[in-house]
Structure formats: structure tokens, C-alpha cells
Structure 1
């Protein structure tokens, strides 16, 4: 779920650069981010309830699945569901596939290497979708709307989208207070001024950290109902919504 080194990412200028970051992290990714497990497990715990109305044979699209943590969690809770894992980093997708095989759920999964626009699956195919820490890397807001439009096209009418990204009003006093806490949490120790400054710079240059109002407006413009917030931990916020 944690898609990059939240303290050290830098110099990401295009999609290829971003994918290469994930390629380098893939093999040691899960162990590296075990320290933030309480956050993503809290998100998944609530996600289970968000998706509780889905049928026992639901099809779920996991966009930017990484090493497959949300997929593994949902597959264990809902043994009748089938999943399509979409991931542009082949190394990350390989880890996801191995994790699914180890969990005994690979036969319920389709693994697609590439971006969502290259997924051959027909439109209106899925009952739900997850998209965690993905859209924040789309810096242009119109491109971000188009990304959610791509997700919407793959979903049935009324299907549920659960999405989460880093989110804050970066011009507010609260952000200046929250960011040092977030940096300390991510590093496992009190963050230095240099770490805080580096993170703030990265979140300005490489990550579209926007206010909740802006993020939800982008999602809604992509073809969804106004999103409902269901999770927040530090700078990470999650919403659920339905395709209209």
C-alpha cells in the first residue's frame, strides 16, 4: 500500500521515473514498511465494512496494487471474490503474484502488468475497485480526473470505489504542525529539520497533496458520487463512493 519512500522520494519527473522507484523497492518493500502496518491495517479493517454489501461472487479491481496487501486482506475475508491486480511495475507485480500464490488465492486473481488504460477487460465489469496511494502521483488535476474516469468505466453502475491518498491543505497552519509528526512516524524517530524540509519539498514537487475538498471534487468529476470520508491517519485519508 505505501507506494514510495515518503521521506526520500525525489526527482520524479515522469511516469517512467515513478515506475523505476517501485522497481527498485519491490523485493524488500513489505519488510521495509512493516513499521506502518497499524495504519494500513486500520484502513483495510474499515474497508471490509465499506465492501460488506457486495455479493459473495464480487469482482474487484485493484488499481496500482503494489505487492498486493489490500488484495490479500480482502481475499482472506471474502473467499468467493475474484480480483484483477493492475500494476505498472513488473517487479512489484511479481511480488504480488508470489504473495497470492503463498496465500493460496492466485487462482482467484488476474495479474495485469501495465496501466489501467491497457487493461483489456470490458467496461462495466467490476463490482468494486480499490485505489490506494496512486492518484496522488498525478500532478495535473485534469489528468487526475481522467484517471478516475478510467476507473469508472471499468465499474458497473453503482459499483463501489474505495480510494486513499495523502491529503492536506498545505497552506494551512495545521499542515505545518502535522507534517513533523507524520515525518517522525514514517522514520520511526523524531524527524530532523532536514527530513521535514525534504518531505515538504517532495510533497510539493512530486506528489499532489491537495485539500480534502479538492480531492473529493476530482473523484466526483471522474464519474462518481460525492465521496464519503471513512478513514484518516495523519496525512492519509480514505473515501468511498459509487459510480454514477
Structure 2
């Protein structure tokens, strides 16, 4: 798998920390909800695997919220890992950052795993491989939190992606202008329906798959290994 584009583009990396909260509805709240879903099962001490950790925004949010959590962050983009180090600052002392894909992650079992805004970059077979590899790296009963582009089953993916594009754009809303961006996203991303996403989580070995977040074309689930 080699899907680090566009995360090697210096201009994109420079804008990431500013652009991402603007593009994802309730981005800060997504981090807080993920933290709470993990905390209710883990308590104040935990060792957490974060896949797609480049940029460091979710690492920073969780590390600030829980002073005794430790993290392993894995990402294929060296530029995004550099950004994560900048974003984390002194919090990096509790984070081990590793360059690579899921197979680069240590196999020692973790208390939990987190994968935000990542899985829509890979197709079904690779996504299933990633989910199975995450499952293999989790203790029995450990929680997994994921969030990425997805859409309600039976609906049109383009309509939901268009709403997300308009949400991220400057006012006034212009749905016509968003159409070209939507086609680019359809071409480059692998956006599944919510039923397909949940089925993959179960096929990878996870149970108790529950939707906890939905914001236009973004959805998030918590599941149990």
C-alpha cells in the first residue's frame, strides 16, 4: 500500500493542522468522544495504538486529556510525522512515533486502538487487512475507535460528500462548485456505506460495533476486539 499522497506535499502538510478541523464537522468533539469511549473501558492508565497518527492532532488531544496514557503512533508519511512532533511538543515524551503502515506496528497487545480519517484511503481488501492486523494487536476485549468518510446505506455517496465539501468551503454555500471536488474524491478515495463499514469490522473479528459519530459524510464507530 502506498497512499501517503498528498501527505508528502509540503504545502498540504503545512495547512493540515488548520484545514482538518475546518473540514470535519465537530472535529474537536470527535476527539473528546473518542477519548471518553476509551476512558470508560480503560481508566486513567493505558497503552494505545494510533494508526494514521501523522499530524499529531488526535495524539495531542488524547495526551492532554489523559496524563498517564502512552501511545504508539504509526504513519507512512515522514512529513506528517515531523508535523506530529511539532504539534505534540513536550507531549512527545509519551508517544513512540513509527514510520510505516500497520505491519510496522509492534505486535505486543495494546489496551486500545484508534484510527481516524485514514481508512477511506484504502480499498476493501486492504482495509480488511488493516482491521485484522489491528485486532491481532489488541488485548481481548480492547476497544477500537475508527472514523472516516462513510455514508448512510441506501443513500447516494456523492450527495453526502458534496455536503461535506460545502461545509468546509467559505460562505456562501455553493453546491454546484463542489461537484468537481466530489468527483475527485470519488476517484481517489474508497468510501463505503455504513453497512459495508460495519460488516468489515465484524469480518475482522470485532464485536459490539456501535455508531457514535456522524457528520455529513463522516462516521465513527467503536468496536470490541
TM-score by length of 1: 0.83
Report the Cα offset of residue 142 of structure 1. Answer: 2.4
Aligned to 1:22: 7
Extract structure 1 runs of 4+ deviating beyond 6 A.
none
Match of residue 138, structure 1, among 119, 122, 137: 122
Report the Cα offset of residue 110 of structure 1. Answer: 0.3
Quote the Cα distance in structure 2 between the aligned partners of 1:20 and 1:135: 14
Aligned to 1:218: 200
Q: What whole-Å deviation, never above 9, does each CA across 1:28-78 have from its counterpart, x for those lacking one?
A: 321233434752112112112201221322001110012111111111111
1:183 touches 1:191 (CA, 8 Å); kept in 2? no
Secondary structure, aligned partner of 1:20: coil
RMSD over aligned Cα, in angstroms? 2.0
Matched, 1:31 2:18: yes
2:7 touches 2:77 (CA, 8 Å); kept in 1? yes
More off after superposition, 22-31 vs 56-65: 22-31
Matched, 1:127 2:111: yes
2:47 touches 2:69 (CA, 8 Å); kept in 1? yes
Report the Cα offset of residue 201 of structure 1. Answer: 1.9
Report the Cα offset of residue 98 of structure 1. Answer: 1.8
Segments of 5+ residues of structure 1 without an aligned counterpart are: 1-14
- Cα pair distance change 1:208/1:170, threshold 3 Å: farther
Aligned to 1:91: 79
Segments of 5+ residues of structure 2 without an aligned counterpart are: none
Matched, 1:44 2:26: no
Q: What whole-Å deviation, never above 9, does each CA across 1:160-214 have from its counterpart, x for those lacking one?
A: 10000111158635x5654443221121232352432x23323332211111110
